[in-house]
Each structure stands twice: as C-alpha cells, then as structure tokens.
Structure 1
C-alpha cells in the first residue's frame, strides 16, 4: 500500500503536467495580445502591466509546486514493535547478513524485562562481548563468534525457545548465552567494539556442522587441563564433544584454581544430608550424648567433632577421562561430581577436599562444565598462532565449517 507522502507527490506531478501547457499557452497568448494592443495604442502601458502580472502569477504557482516536484522519496523507517519489544537499529561496522540469513534473534533482556530484536550477526557480537574478554587474541574472539553463531542457528532451526519467556528466542544469561544489549555496547570503548566487529565480520555466516547439522557448540571458561566427554557430565554421548588435552589454561587463566572453606554443617545442609547419614558422625554424637537417639544436626558448637567424623566418611571413588570427579561417597550416600559441584556452588567438578582445622577446604581446578571449547584454551592456542578454524576443529571433533545462510534457506524451503 502506497504511503501518504507518495500519493501527494504523484498528485503534484500530475497537476504540474496539466498546468504546464496551459501556463505556457497563457504566456504566449498574453504576449500576442500585448503586442496587438501595443500596435493599437503605444501610449497605453497596459500590456506591460498584464505581462508582469501574468509572469508573477506563473512564478507563484511554480514556487508552490517546486517543493513537491523536488521531494526525494525516502524509505520509511520501521517503527518499534509495540509493548515491551523493541526493534534494534542496524549496527554500524557490522556487515549485513547474507540474503538467505536475514534472521533476527529475539533476546529477552533480564535487566529490563524487554525483548530486543537484533540481526543474527549483531546477536553474535553481543554474545562475544559478554562471553569473552575483548583483549583476547583476535583468533580466539573469532573462534568464540563461530561457536556463538552455531549455537543460535541450531536453536533457530529447531524452533527451540525453551527457557525463554514468550516472544523471545533466548535470554541474555548463561542459561543460553550471555549477551550485551546494543545500548550498553554503545558505551564501550570504540577500539574494543571495533575488534568485536572485526571478529564477527571475518567469520560472517560461518557455523560448525556435523553430518550436515549445526552442532551443540558448548563452551566454558577454563579447563583443568582436559575437556570433558559430554556423556561424563550430561549423561548422553555426543560424537563431537570428546575429551581433549587443553594444557594452555593453567598458565594463563586467573580462574584455574580456587579454594573454598565451608563448615561441615554447611556442606551437609547443601547436600541435603542429616548427621545420621554419616555413620562416624552419628556414632560420635551418640557417644557424646550418651544416648542412642537420633543425633541432632551439627552446629558451630560441635564443629570439631563434625570435622573429625566427616573426614572418615568422605571418599572420592572415581574420576572421568577428563580427570574430573565422577563418583563421591559421603556416608551412606553417593553423588556424582556434577552434583557436588552444583550443590556446593563450586567452579568445577575437578576438585579435591581435606579437613583444615574444623572446616572442609575444597580446591577446584578449572571453571565451568568442561564440555566443548575452553575459552582460555582458545586464547592459549591463538597466542601460539593458531587460526580460529584450527581452534574450533580441535575442540569439536570431526566437524565441518558451513554457512548459516544455506542452512536457514534450506529450512525455509522445507
């Protein structure tokens, strides 16, 4: 449907085309009549006055029509979507997507509870800005861009909006991929944004596939020296998410190790265990109370007793090929390393623990679930001269590089 300005423009042009011959015809007629009258009475100055009046009228009409005739037709900007959703402007310095990959991503911004619509490549830039330090090597940033783009393309193709509010494809949290909104990105240093733009532009449209399908491009911060098999953390095996050596992290990551102290009572509470779940603790408490009744929960007042009993009944039973904890026994209960990590809010499932006075001292190695690409490992490889392609094909086994535009176009045809 034509817009109102365009209709006015077309009407003005039609009016001008109709008036133009009449105006010029009128001018010529006035000039002829003026000449005849001048021959009849040279003393009368009326023809000159008529001519001046006619020209003045014609110029007035043209002056009114000229702005309409010279109006340049401009494309109308699309208005922001109603409600809490807003349409983002095209970001400068990020190359436009391929014709077949003009997908938009709807990101739920948890801080403002709004949905931000952005082009696919803009979304990728926002993810790199949130997920990886901008002072990382360019090739590491490019590897992150490929992984981030693959993640969202896989999700869009599957029409998977799980974990996101209605009207959004993903959130801006680590539940999906962390993301920096456009407004916040505008406040960042120009050189940092320029580097992010370059990482996006130099990998534009590239995704990772396995047997023609975009992969689950998992990534994490820091390894303990190895990545983890998918089945050792998430139960189900994934052919391209296999454990590999990642020796770079220990030397360059500030998150490689962390020590946490916890009271025994805190450990038991977070694991959902009572004192009688640990036999040695239960016996000691019974002996201390002189009764066979169910012992009370440990507290700060009996922390030394709790620590002594606890140290006798905790055992790491096995490790995974990625050298993370696989199984733990605490008293009569067993836990996976992942369960311990999540319940105690540890950085990694690669950990050691020991008694330190009346507390449990836990040391973790690495940061994250350990599956897929290690970000500090990618940085270490980039520092040694590895390309983004070499980095991603090292951490994701047996994958191929493909185009997002092709996958998205094929999906539309199907």
Structure 2
C-alpha cells in the first residue's frame, strides 16, 4: 500500500524553482579577488581572560578565550575565539563548500557563542566540565581540534582546507547576527525539502527571525536530497513504543505544515507528532511518504534535519549562484542585522 500523502506544494515548488532560476541568471556574480590566505598567527596569551567582567571582553575582544570541554578526552581546553569558530566550521560544514557559504556558517557559529557569552549561559555541560562554556558536541556546536583535522584530512588536504577555513573566519572576524540588538539563535541544519520551517512547528517557541522561507537550491545541489529507510513491521512498532505485530501498519496523516512536513500522523489508532516519528525511527526529515510490502514499511524522505534556520546545502547553492554570505544569512534569518561582537558585549 502506498501512502496517500502527496505534496500539494509540488506545483508551487516547481514554479518557485523556475523563478529562482531566472533570478539567479540575472544576479550579479561577485568575484573573489584573492586566492591567498593566511593561517592564524601563533597565540600565546600570558593569562586566560575571565568571561567577566564584560567590559574587559569589549576592550580586548581579540583576546577572548573559549573554554571548550573535549568530550572524548574529558578535559577543558582554552581556545582563542576565532580559532574556536574555525574548529566549529571544520566540524559543521564540508571544507569543499563555497567560500561564501563557509563565511555564513562562520558567522552563525560565532553568533551562537556570542549568545552564550552575553547571557552567561552554561546549560548542557556535563558534571565534570567545570569552567567550560561549551562542549565539542552537537549539544552545543560540534568542534574539531587541529589534531583531529590532521587525521581526518590527511597531510596534503590539511593545509589546503585549513587555509580556506581560516580565510572564511578572518573575512568575517568579529561579526555576529542580532535581532533587536540581541544575538540570535542561529540554528542551522543540513538540507531543506524546498522550504525551511517555522520554529514553533518543530520546537515550542515562535521566534520572529526563524520563519519558513523558500530554499530551492537544496534539490539542485544536495547529493542526498532524497533518502530511504526500511523496517520490518515488528521493528517499526517496537521503535515507536507500540505492541509488536506482523500486521501492515495503517498510517493516516493528520496535519502538515505549509512547507509540506508532517506535523502529526495516526498510526494504528495512535496519534504521533511528525517529529517523534522522525526521531524514533531515525528518519532524515519529517517530510516523508511510505509504502508497505513483503512484511516491511519503507519511508522516503526529502531533506535532512529539523528544517529550522539556515540550510547548509541551501547556503552552498546560493553561494554557487553568486550570493554573498550576508545575502545568505539575511535570507534564512528574517529581519536580522550583522553587528560587531564588541557591540553586543557592550550592551550585555
């Protein structure tokens, strides 16, 4: 049996993609003036600056040190702010992405940290991470040390990739995103289904700058835009916390968002949030269809991730079509501004 859930937005998306193609043809392509990049200079501060008082951070912004808890090593290390941003950039986005997409990601990473610095927030830290501000996991932002990057990239790619990421960080040094003067929740994810999602439809809060916007670039450029996951009937029921059965499950979509993602679905008489189904089954997104045959249920998804904020593959597609980092960020985060970090810390 194949699901009845078909995307009513399909025609709308096709029209939108066509319009985007015309717009990209008319867009001005910004040439990158230089291919030379510089590594971070050696940083040897005589002492670790405290996170307080903020007046010191404003006056000596370039010396902000970020205490990062390295989960595998179970230790906290202090990393210069911009070197931390580079480590996050290396962990969160492929180094072969376009430079303007990498710049956009660098600003988003710096903004996340700015929000924690300004508020003094230390949530999500394990008990043995005393003194840390963030961990190196997705509980905060994934972060890779230079040793990890040498191992991951190998001898020949290491210098090339590091120089490219350093340029993305240096070109955006000190810049963060704000909304009404406060650093934003700069959420991001891998791949959209053609649209991003309103924040309240995945989480609880309606955040004014995290609004659903069109993102046609994902389908054009993301290599795994469509994915598939299959389960034996018994495994399907078990993963959802239901009584195991060999009977083909009956699924009925109850609500979808304007972006085409499933908000709620009834399964064998029980209602589930689309997010819960995605997380319990490990699906790529909440935009899914399904079919049943030969004792298995197979899901087909479009996009990857929660869908709120900046799509990374969308950002890369925009960059490929000549958009700047600022244009990318202002598209995915509505009504925000770019500001120097020192201004944000001065207000805090």
TM-score range, shorter chain: 0.7 to 0.9
Of 194, 198, 201, which aligns to 1:232?
Answer: 201
Residue 178 of structure 1 corresponds to which residue in structure 2? Answer: 142
Calculate the TM-score normalised by the size of structure 1: 0.67
- 1:90-105 to structure 2, matched below 5 A, reads 99-100=60-61, 102-105=63-66
Number of aligned residue pairs: give it: 289
Quick one: which of 267, 272, 279 aligns to 1:330?
267
1:153 to 91, 111, 114: 114
Alpha-carbon distance, 1:338 to partner: 0.5
Distance 1:268 1:197, change over 3 A: same
RMSD: 1.9
Show CA shifts across 1:320-343 (max 9, x none).
122111110012311111011111
Q: Distance in 2 between matches of 1:162 and 1:106?
A: 14
Contact map agreement 1:263 1:359 (CA 8 A) in 2 = yes
Q: Structure 1 pair 119/98, CA: closer, same or farther in 2 (3 Å)? A: farther
Contact 1:228 1:322 (8 Å CA) reproduced? yes
SS at match of 2:202: helix
Change (3 A) 1:375 1:98: farther
Q: Which has the higher contact order (CA 8 A, sep 6+)?
A: 2
Is residue 120 of structure 1 aligned with residue 81 of structure 2?
yes
Taking a change above 3 Å as real, the CA distance of residues 77 and 137 of structure 1, as seen in their structure-2 partners, is closer
Per residue, is there more helix in 1 or in 2?
1
Q: CA deviation at 1:401?
A: 0.7
Alignment counterpart, residue 247 of structure 1, candidates 210, 213, 216:
216
Task: State which of 211, 218, 228 in structure 1 corresponds to 2:180.
Answer: 211
> Cα distance, 1:255 vs. partner?
2.4
Structure 2 counterpart of 1:342: 279
Q: Please show how residues 316-395 of structure 1 align to structure 2 within 5 Å.
A: 316-395=253-332
CA distance in 1 between counterparts of 2:237 and 2:183 reads: 42
Shift of 1:245: 0.7
Question: Separation in 2 of the partners of 1:101 and 1:364?
Answer: 44
2:161 aligned residue: 192
The Cα shift of 1:184 comes to 2.4
Q: Distance in 2 between matches of 1:185 and 1:271?
A: 37
> Aligned partners of 1:332, 1:396: CA distance in 2, in Å?
38
Q: How far apart, in 2, do the equivalents of 1:201 and 1:354 lie?
A: 49
1:345 shift after superposition: 1.1
8 Å CA contact 1:101–1:409 kept in 2: the answer is: no
Whether contact under 8 Å (1:229, 1:321) holds in the other structure is no
Kindly name which structure, 1 or 2, has the bigger radius of gyration based on alpha carbons: 1
Out of 71, 81, 88, the residue aligned to residue 110 of structure 1 is 71
Task: Indicate if the aligned counterparts of 1:267 and 1:344 stay in contact, CA closer than 8 A.
Answer: yes
**Cα displacement (A) at 1:78:** 4.6
Is the contact between residue 205 and residue 404 of structure 1 (CA under 8 Å) also seen in structure 2? yes
Question: How far 1:112 moved relative to its partner?
Answer: 1.2
Gaps of 5+ in 2: 1-43, 49-57
TM-score (ref. length: structure 2): 0.79
